[in-house]
Amino acid sequence: MSWYAVQTKSNQEDKAAFNLRRQGYGVYLPKYARLRRHARKTERIARPLFSGYLFVAVDSGRQGWRAINSTLGVARLVAAAEAPTAVPEAVIEGLRAREGEDGCIRLEPQRHLKNGDSVRVTEGVFESVLGLYQGLTADERALVLVDFLGRKVRALIDPETLAAA
């Protein structure tokens, strides 16, 4: 068995995984847990770790790889010069070793920001606003000092939406 990377159609990773499994292929779609906040609710949702990609195991002795390209949800098998490029088994094992009980890969929180660093908000209500990073709260929210209506205001922001300015 060899592992290969498969590029999926936009937002169709789960559909491609389902259809590849139906055809008898081994499929690995690594996911991570992301917090989604909407209408005063917070929930954890599983999102693909590599957006637009998954891994497929092919037993070259009994399965062909050409059928993968015509599977619903699949854009193409990642290949170089007409032959698919194998992914080392150690990569798959390394990803699986980081999975938690919920099946999601544990990501390290962004610790590259230090108190007083200039940041830019990349999405949400404060998109494109510049501010000063003040640290993380107990519930893993970033405390940012932003300029709002001529005043410095503290805002709690998802740390994933911050970039160094």
How far is the first Cα of the chain from the last one, in angstroms, to the nearest whole number?
Answer: 45
**Mean of pLDDT over the chain:** 87
Q: Residue 119 pairs with which residues in a beta bridge?
A: 131, 164
Per-residue pLDDT at 110 exceeds 60: no
Comparing 30-39, 47-56, 91-100, 108-117, which segment has the lowest mean pLDDT?
A: 108-117
Distance (Å, whole) CA 106 – CA 97: 10
Q: Cα(71)–Cα(15) distance, rounded to whole angstroms? A: 10
Mean pLDDT calculated for residue range 31-55:
85
With a pLDDT cut of 90, the percent of the chain lying above it is: 44
57 has which bridge partners?
A: 3, 26
Contact assessment for residue 68 and residue 6, using Cβ atoms and an 8 Å cutoff = yes
Q: Are 8 and 74 in contact (CB under 8 A)?
A: yes
The answer to whether 31 and 99 have CB atoms below 8 angstroms apart is: no
Q: Tell me the domains of the chain and their CATH numbers.
A: 2-97 (3.30.70.940), 118-164 (2.30.30.30)
- How far, in Å, CA of 55 to CA of 4, rounded? 6
What is the percentage of the chain residues whose pLDDT exceeds 70?
Answer: 97
Model's pTM, two decimal places? 0.68
Question: For residue 84, how many other CB atoms are within 10 A of its CB?
Answer: 22
C-alpha to C-alpha distances, 78 to 50, 54, 65, 81, nearest whole angstrom:
14, 10, 11, 10
pLDDT band for position 124 (cuts 50, 70, 90): confident
Confidence label for 158 from pLDDT (cuts 50, 70 and 90): confident
Whether the per-residue pLDDT at 104 is higher than 70: the answer is yes
Q: State the number of CA atoms in the 13 A half-sphere of 124 facing the CB.
A: 17
